[in-house]
Structures are given as C-alpha cells and as structure tokens.
C-alpha cells in the first residue's frame, strides 16, 4: 500500500535498504560462528601446539571484517530507510493538502480549518514513524532468525 506513493527511485532505495537490513541480520549469526571458532582455537592451544594461535589470529581478522561490514551495512540501512520514509511522507503530505484544497467551502464551515495543518502533520508524522527504520528492524530480525537456524542446523549436526 505504501508503494503506491513511491517512485522508481524510492523503490530502488527500499530494495537496497532491504538487502542491507538482511545482511545486517545475518551478521550476528556469522559473528557467533566466528566466535565459536575462536573458542575452539583457544581450547586446542597448548604449550607445544602453537597452531591454535595462528587460527586465533585469522579468526580475529574475520571478526574485524564482520564488524567493519556491519558498520557500513547498518549505517546504509538506517540512512536509506529514513530517506525512503521522508520521501513517502512528503508525497502523502502534498496529496493530503491538495485534497483539502479541493474540498467545498461547506466542508470548512463544519470543520475547523485551523486544525487542518495540525492534522496533516500528525498523520504524516505517524506514517513517517511507521515506515522508517522499523521496517528494517523487521527484515533484520527475520534474517537473523533464519540465518541463525540455518547456521545451527548446518554446523551443529
């Protein structure tokens, strides 16, 4: 329903933000997987076996790469969903105002015209809050659950 007010550019922004959100959700299960490898590397390390330290350093590099990727993906996710939300809210606000101007004069006799601006702002801000980064949190949560179960079943059995 909200895509009715979106342009092609907004749909592209939404698609990129959704991909970033899914990647952001998959990062925590990947981080847990790498952290488990680090714990296993420490457990295998002994005084005469230094191979565990080599694995530990490579696992640390993987964790650093995941953290860097999460920083960029999460920032992009929040920024793009905020831009999408603002664009949609702006178009809805314009259409709402245009439809208010097209009403008959008798409408404003029954309703207070001073309330029109506050009603537009209130309703559009609720749309803005609902279509912002909360959509990204939904995609992130679904991705985190699916990737967590996938990783658990693949590497756990």
Task: Return the higher-pLDDT residue of 97 and 8.
Answer: 8
Tens of pLDDT, residues 75-105:
999 999 999 999 998 888 888 888 888 878 7
81, two tokens: 């969903």
Band (138; pLDDT cuts 50, 70, 90)? very high
Judge whether 144 and 25 are in contact, CB under 8 Å: yes
pTM to 2 decimal places: 0.81
Domains and CATH numbers, the chain: 2-156 (1.20.1560.10)
Contacts (Cβ under 8 Å, ≥6 apart) of 33: 151, 155
Judge whether 77 and 24 are in contact, CB under 8 Å: yes
Of 60-74, 110-124, 143-157, least confident by mean pLDDT is: 110-124
């Amino acid at each position: 329903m909200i895509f009715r007010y979106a342009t092609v550019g907004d749909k592209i922004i939404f698609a990129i933000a959704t991909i970033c959100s899914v990647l952001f959700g998959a990062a925590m299960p990947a981080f847990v997987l790498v952290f488990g490898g680090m714990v296993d590397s420490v457990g295998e390390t002994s005084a005469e076996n230094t191979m565990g330290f080599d694995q530990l350093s490579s696992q640390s590099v993987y964790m650093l790469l995941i953290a860097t990727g999460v920083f960029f993906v999460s920032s992009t996710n929040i920024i793009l969903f905020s831009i999408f939300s603002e664009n949609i809210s702006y178009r809805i606000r314009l259409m709402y105002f245009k439809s208010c101007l097209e009403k008959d004069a008798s409408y404003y006799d029954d309703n207070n015209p001073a309330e029109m601006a506050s009603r537009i702002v209130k309703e559009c801000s609720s749309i803005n809050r609902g279509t912002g980064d909360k959509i990204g949190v939904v995609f992130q949560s679904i991705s985190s659950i699916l990737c967590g179960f996938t990783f658990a079943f693949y590497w756990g059995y």
